[in-house]
Amino acid sequence: MNASINPVARRGNLMLDIRPYTSCDFHRIIMPYGRLNADPKAPVFVFNRQPSHGIHSLMAMKQAGIKIICDVDDHFDVGPHHVMYELFKKNNIAEIIKQSMMLADLVTVTNTELAKAVAPYAKRIEILPNALPFDQGQFTLSQDTESDRPIVYVAGTTHRHDMSQFAGHVDEQHLTIAGHNPEREEWRKIERMFGPGVKYKPEVGIDDYMSLYDGHAVALAPLVDTEFNRCKSNLKVLEAGAKGLPIITSDVHPYLNATDYDAVDYASDGTDWRECTDRLVNDKVYRLERGQQLAEHVREHYHLDKINEIRRQIVEGIV
């Protein structure tokens, strides 16, 4: 079915809202459910955040006896400093997401912090961490960690404030910021945060975005400690591990957690960012050890096959 014409694709009793290729839909609907072998006994409709055809479509589905699963992978309230705040406010998106959760029979989320945030609006909550199909497609170990600058941050337009965590503290001659789109005002603001030494890589499509890590040896994942950010997932850790690269993250949730603690290098201030990056760039033995450790860690804890078995049980068990 052509998702650009009708975003609802059906496979037996499983109906998926697959708006084409936002990152959220790719990681939470298109990729996991595309690889899921599930056979629910009754019709089940799954979507991320808000249905393409609006709240009234959910009401009609409920009246028809269709079970509804609403997946939420970010806090529904982006906050006034977020680049999408005005868009959310203008289109009342937070309220639509809340209504979607209240109408759903089940809300799936990525972690415990997000589960707490959605609890007032959900009848039932299940945690399904982000996961990747490691060693398949674009999620394979990097064969090139030396042809480009050693450090990379694969970013989007929503992460300008997060980049302030390491701006001015990481050697710009070692740094590439990937996902760049100079036509967007937010990226021009990001450019003004850094000196002329930083290199930028242009954004690519979601089907090939992991190529942005190629040529680099160390990944970064800064995050400002806010309620919104604490509800994010640790997807950057999974991406770095997929490529076999060590990662430095801010010492805040979702990166600071009991599962990942020993596999991630943490930075709490500018001095930490400088020292951590310098060590990983200059100490090849340590860098390779940490990259291998993270690669093994994510494959053990976040393989899509394992998480999809939980997903299958949830989808087939919904009543």
The boundaries of every CATH 3.40.50.2000 domain in the chain are 8-131+303-317, 151-301
DSSP per position, 142-165? -S-SSSS-SEEEE--GGGHHHHTT
Q: Could you give the CA distance from residue 265 to residue 220 in angstroms, rounded to a whole number?
A: 10
In the numeric block, the tokens 């309230």 are attached to 77
Maximum pairwise Cα distance, the chain: 62
- pLDDT value, residue 156: 81
Whether residue 130 contacts residue 160, with contact meaning beta carbons closer than 8 Å, is answered with: no
- pLDDT value, residue 6: 58
pTM above 0.75, yes or no: yes
What sign does the CA torsion over 194, 198, 203, 206 have? negative
- pLDDT value, residue 93: 84
- pLDDT value, residue 77: 79
Measured CA distances, 175 to 67, 216, 295 (Å): 48, 9, 22
- pLDDT value, residue 210: 98
Q: Topology of 8-131+303-317 in CATH? A: Rossmann fold (3.40.50)
- pLDDT value, residue 11: 86
Helix 284-301 and helix 270-282, axial crossing angle in degrees, nearest 10 = 100
Q: Could you give the CA distance from residue 112 to residue 269 in angstroms, rounded to a whole number?
A: 26
Q: Closest Cα to residue 163, out of 250, 279, 275? A: 250
**What residues in the chain have per-residue pLDDT under 70?**
1-7, 20-21, 79-80, 82-85, 87-88
Which CATH number is correct for 151-301, 3.90.1170.10, 3.40.50.1010, 3.40.50.2000, 3.40.640.10? 3.40.50.2000
